[in-house]
Amino acid sequence: MNFKEWVEKADRDLKLAKLAMENDILDYALFHAQQAVEKYLKSFLVKNKVNFRKKHDIFYLLGLCIDIDKDFSKLLQFDLEIFESAIAVRYPSDFYPDINTVKRAIAIAENVRDFVLKKLEVHKEDF
């Protein structure tokens, strides 16, 4: 997959996150917001020809991005910890996110998208 295909997949996850939130499926809204962030970061890594392990770890991916471009450390200002339980929500558990958590997660995913697209030197309209 090329980097644009990663962005397109990430955009679909972000869209699904919003649809799930609108339909009060908050666990999957959080999951898809997390997936979007992962894929936006992976798009940058793919464009820069960096291999990465296939695991659900935003901080691992972000670390690889920071190694290429220190500017990515700006993403640490966002509450990325919000996504730590996003993978677990796919399975039965005691955790269920509230609407405010999901809204924050989606906003973070949108900010990551904007940041990564600038780094990729592409425009929102290209997708």
Q: What's the CATH code of the domain at 20?
A: 1.20.120.330
pLDDT at 127: 60
pLDDT at 112: 98
Amino acid at 26: L
Task: Tell me: pLDDT of 124 over 70.
Answer: no
Q: Rg (Cα) of the chain, in Å, rounded?
A: 14
Domains held by the chain: number:
1
Domain holding 12, by residue range, is: 3-126
Measured at the alpha carbon of residue 55, what is the angle toward residues 53 and 59, in degrees to the nearest 5?
90
pLDDT band at 93 (very low <50, low <70, confident <90, very high): confident
Q: How far apart are CA 53 and CA 110, in angstroms?
A: 24
Plot region of 24 (φ>0 → left; ψ -120 to 50 → alpha; else → beta): left
pLDDT at 123: 64
**124 vs 114, more confident:** 114
pTM flag (> 0.85): yes
